[in-house]
Amino acid sequence: MKLWGWLLLGTATAQAAQPLFDGKTLAGWEGNTNTWRVEAGAIVAGRLDRKQPHNEFLATTNTFGDFELRLEYKLEGSKGFVNGGVQFRSRRVPADHEVSGYQADLGANTDGNLYDESRRNRNLVAADPAVRQRALKPGEWNEYRIRAQGAHIQLWLNGELTADYREQDPQILRRGIIALQIHGGAFTQIQYRNLVIEDLSPPSK
């Protein structure tokens, strides 16, 4: 399992970082295992020869507040709305397959966008198309860096800052699950790997 260079530096930051995925099992995650599986060190959903019927999410069993998350994703497909995303500070919608909260969007010309899934249902920040075109590697592994600290949320796509947002609504959750999405309605496969999270919560006194 690949470990990011910054995880090997022996600093206080490195010591705080923890893998969210062991590379072998879905331990620490919950979701529809008819959709989600582990293959070759990656979390995988969907198949290129089968239409994904609706949105599905694989969610952490733990919740997170202030953090920095790094991961890689690879999205394939050509028929339908080929899309996915990484939910954070989110929650499952009761009696539904949806998840509500912030999403680092990906695919279908949305990579780098900060979207509000099943809540405000709109882009909070749309990435500059020129930045996306420069940063994105279609059909290959791409790196997302997601940082949420207090009201401040930032996204980086392959090292390029694509979203810098400050939440103005004090009612919006600042803690919740992290969840991986495959979007419905497409012949698509998505993979996620090398998920590593650093807790940015202030030290307890």
Residues β-bridged to residue 87: 103, 179
Q: Does domain 5-199 have CATH number 2.60.120.560?
A: yes
Q: How confident is the model at residue 203 (pLDDT cuts 50, 70, 90)?
A: confident
- Kindly report, residue by residue over 28-72, the tens digit of the pLDDT: 999 999 999 999 999 999 999 999 999 999 999 999 999 999 999
Cβ atoms of 67 and 197 within 8 Å: the answer is yes
DSSP code per residue over 96-144: SS-EEEEEEEESTT-TT-EEEETTT-EEEEPPPHHHHHHH--TTS-EEE
Phi, then psi, of 63 in degrees rounded to 5 = -110, 160
Tokens 């207090």 belong to 150
Q: Is the model's pTM score more than 0.75? A: yes
Provide the residue type at 87 as one letter.
Q
Q: Residue 10's pLDDT is what?
A: 33
**Mean pLDDT, residues 118-128 taken together:** 97
pLDDT tens by residue, 144-166: 999 999 999 999 999 999 999 99
Residue 186's H or E segment, with its range, is strand 186-199
Closest CA relative to residue 68, chosen from 196, 203, 204, 183: 196
Under the banding of pLDDT at 50, 70 and 90, the label for residue 192 is very high
Place of tokens 């899934």: 117
Q: What share of the chain is helix, strand, coil (3-state, %, to 5)?
A: 10, 50, 40
Q: Is the pLDDT of residue 9 over 50?
A: no
What is the percent of the chain where pLDDT is above 70? 92
- pLDDT of 1 > 50? The answer is no
CA separation for the pair 1, 21 (Å, rounded): 10
